[in-house]
Amino acid sequence: MKIEKNVVETIEKNPIALATSTRLGTPNVSVAAFVKVKYDKIVITNNYMGKTIANVNQNPHVSLVVWNDKWKGYQIHGKAEYHEKGKWCDFVKSIKENKSEPCKGVIVIIPESIKQIG
């Protein structure tokens, strides 16, 4: 799915709320900043996201919400995959905001739907 430029800008300039759940449906919401979009995928660094990673590994279905200071934003549903090495990890380690962070891995979200909110 193509991620339009205005959606990319909103994602990359604002923190996001990322919702995951266990295989049995127990929910969890995490906040992430410095999120990037690359090749129409949403890329989130795992610095301190233990429960989120455990959930993604059990259940790849995720949702995220992002909005700007005018309360305009997007709700995105998709499938997530987690990587601890490879090109995605190299990418997040190259992000200047991650310079002093542990960069334990990366969540890559493949969007399936994007809905404007606000």
Which helix (H) or strand (E) element contains residue 58?
helix 50-58
Claim: this prediction has a pTM higher than 0.75: yes
Grouped pLDDT means (10 residues each) for the chain, 118 residues: 97 98 96 95 95 97 97 97 96 89 94 96
**Which sequence spans correspond to the domains of the chain?**
5-117
Q: How many CB atoms lie within 10 A of CB 34?
A: 17
Return the pLDDT at 97.
87
Return the pLDDT at 80.
98
Beta strands of the chain (E only): which ranges?
16-21, 27-32, 36-38, 41-46, 61-67, 73-83, 105-117
Cα separation, 14 vs 27, whole angstroms: 23
Phi, psi angles (nearest 5°) of residue 8: -60, -45
Q: What fold is seen in the domain 5-117? A: Pnp Oxidase; Chain A (2.30.110)
